[in-house]
Structure 1
């Protein structure tokens, strides 16, 4: 709907009439007498013009309309839309996702067909990010090294898209867990103390990078940042190989280190061996880290003051043109009678 944010401005509407009533008209005074031989003809011509001016009611109407539009613009008209929920200040969640070569292992099954660990992680993490309304979410990807893919942001759709575009081996084949924690902490350390969380997901052991994972966890403890660790790796499954049907159990997951990292920081360690298990992990984290606050509802406002202001300017300009252009076009002299050369 359309409303006026400064509706009290309409109290100015009668101002011109108030001024006209209380202020005295300007004193015309007595000018010096000037005698000219063609006074009678001149007075008739001026009288005709005065009559035409007095009948120009449109000038008064135009001035009144301009004043009305200017007061309307001053009242700040605005279109106020329906209520829209805005995210309140919630938690700051960094997600660190392993992209090492082992994440290409097809030891998960979806619909009876084998799929890679990374594909399952993407689906589960996507649902988790989508559910974190009101939270800032960031993304760190790591293998040989860790790098920030998405800073903490309310734009969860952008984070989901960046996660979907991640590929195995993007930065190498090995696993730098300590560096992933360090990069995440660097983004979380300046955020408010309450609600800073890191969700670390990997299927291997730390075998690359500059930072030791336990040392990074101790730093997180000092900063008051909780780390939830998730160990990924499907249960043994039968697959067809060149040597016939075999059971595959490829995983070098360091559960001890991941559990210690979580315990040091007040988080929790989860083990995900199948699709349902990984989805349950994220649901458990949702319960442990509920949304910090309900969204704030606001009504978006679109300013409309420039419409009446612009229309007032246009009417004023047209009024000036209508009053002046005919005189320039006709260029009619003020006196048409004969000139007395002896005068």
Structure 2
């Protein structure tokens, strides 16, 4: 099916004639030869010149029509593509505070920083969310949206890998992250409003109280699943640190989850996080209305290329005539 993607460009069609009507005409030099039959000669010349000018004008008119057609972005729409209308709208909020550098997590029997294991397993989680829309919030001393809700999971996974500790500051603004997620999820279908918040500390920065934000999220029908990251006492090999998760405020994370009908999970190692994501994956998918999509094949290069070739031909003819006239 043929379609003009930008039909409003047709409004530019009368522009050359409008400019010709509005702008004053070029002044003609007065003749120095006065003869008795000059009026008849001028009338004959006007008739001949008007016909010649009309013939010379048509190629330029055709070029202008081709340019307007190209500006309308013509395209050929194929058959409707099969799409899935089942999926979730989920925001992922990842903590990038300074404590995420602690190497107290076990992954493949190796001691790794918290951020390393979180990035790896969040990436695996994203890769398995085919049909879902995911967004990414990064927070430290402040929170910001790294990616809005999108089906482009490849780009989202790349953004997760490019994140680093301290990108948003060294402190932990849990309340701000929840508030920002509420803004992004407020207009989404009620059954698909989900926030997964991953942190290893307590709320030490920001302007929003986490519990107050959680109550507002509950009023908006947003469920929050909180994940506390950090090893237990004696589990870490960090020298001089008896309990690396001392700063983890599990009480607040539990209250935030319960206030919204979600759940709190504790991630002490890679196996825990895998089990957590499997539990979240058991959520019932929400149905989301979606219009049919078609594969669009752009056609604008054809009129644009033809206009270029015709312009080159007109210029070549003009140069040829000028050289032979001299």
The TM-score, its normalising length taken from structure 2, stands at 0.63
Displacement over 6 Å in runs of 4+: 78-83, 293-297, 303-308
| Residues 80 and 152 of structure 1, relative CA distance in 2, 3 Å threshold | closer
2:227: which partner in 1? 230
1:130-169 deviations in whole A, cap 9, x for unaligned?
2222222111111111112111222222221111111112
Q: How does 1:167-246 map to 2 (within 5 A)?
A: 167-235=164-232, 236-239=234-237, 241=239
Is 1:145–2:142 an aligned residue pair?
yes
Secondary structure of 1:234's partner? coil
Deviation at 1:81, TM superposition (A): 7.2
CA contact (8 A) 2:100 2:113 kept: yes
Given the superposition, is the C-alpha separation of residues 79 and 273 from structure 1 closer, same or farther in structure 2, using an over 3 Å criterion? same
CA gap of 1:224–1:240, structure 2 versus 1, over 3 A, is: closer
What does 1:16-27 align with in structure 2 at a 5 Å threshold? none
Once the two structures are TM-superposed, the CA of residue 297 in structure 1 deviates from its matched residue by 8.3
Separation in structure 1 between the aligned mates of residue 151 and residue 143 of structure 2, nearest angstrom: 22
Q: Work out the CA distance in 2 between the residues paired with 1:268 and 1:305.
A: 52
Gaps of 5+ in 2: 4-74, 310-326
Q: Find the counterpart in structure 2 of residue 132 from structure 1.
A: 129
2:136–2:156 CA contact under 8 A, matched in 1: yes
CA 1:85/1:234 → structure 2, altered by over 3 Å: closer, same or farther? farther
1:287 alignment partner in structure 2: 282
Instruction: For 1:146 and 1:191, locate their aligned partners in 2 and report how far apart those are by CA, in whole Å.
Output: 20
Classify 1:166/1:85 alpha carbon distance in 2 versus 1 (closer, same or farther; 3 Å). farther
Contact 2:2 2:76 in 1 (8 A): no
Whether the 8 Å contact between 1:98 and 1:143 is mirrored in structure 2 is yes
1:111 matched to 2:111? The reply is: no
After TM superposition, list the pairs within 5 Å mapping 1:1-343 onto structure 2: 85-86=82-83, 88=85, 90-235=87-232, 236-239=234-237, 241=239, 249-290=244-285, 292=287, 300-302=295-297
| 8 Å Cα contact 1:103/1:118 also seen in 2 | yes
Aligned match of 1:11: none
Other-structure match for 2:7: none
| Conserved 8 A contact 2:192-2:285 | no
Cα distance in structure 2, aligned partners of 1:305 and 1:164: 38
Q: Displacement of 1:301 after TM fit?
A: 4.7
Residue number in structure 2 paired with 1:72: none
- Gap change, CA 1:177 and 1:256, over 3 Å in 2: same
Q: Note if contact 1:86-1:296 (Cα within 8 Å) is conserved in structure 2.
A: no
Whether the aligned pair in 1 keeps the contact of 2:137 and 2:147 (CA below 8 Å) is yes
Partners of 2:142 and 2:76 in 1: how far apart?
A: 51
With over 3 angstroms needed to count, the CA separation of the structure-2 counterparts of 1:150 and 1:167, relative to structure 1, is same
CA distance change for structure 1 residues 113 and 79 in 2, over 3 Å: closer, same or farther?
Answer: same
Q: Retained in 2: the 8 A contact 1:201–1:230?
A: yes
Check 1:120–1:289 CA distance in 2 against 1; reply closer, same or farther (3 A cut): farther
Distance in 1 separating the partners of 2:236 and 2:192: 42
Q: Cα–Cα, structure 1 residues 238 and 153, in superposed 2: closer, same or farther, change >3 Å?
A: closer
Structure 2 contact 191–286 (Cα < 8 Å) conserved: no
**Number of aligned residues:** 250
When the two chains are superposed, the root-mean-square deviation of aligned CA atoms in Å is: 4.0
Q: What SS class does the counterpart of residue 237 from structure 2 fall into?
A: strand
Q: C-alpha deviations, 1:16-44, integer Å up to 9, x for none?
A: xxxxxxxxxxxxxxxxxxxxxxxxxxxxx
Please give the TM-score of this superposition, normalised by the length of structure 1. Answer: 0.61
8 Å Cα contact 1:239/1:248 also seen in 2: no
What is the rounded CA distance, in whole Å, between the counterparts of 2:300 and 2:235 in structure 1?
Answer: 69
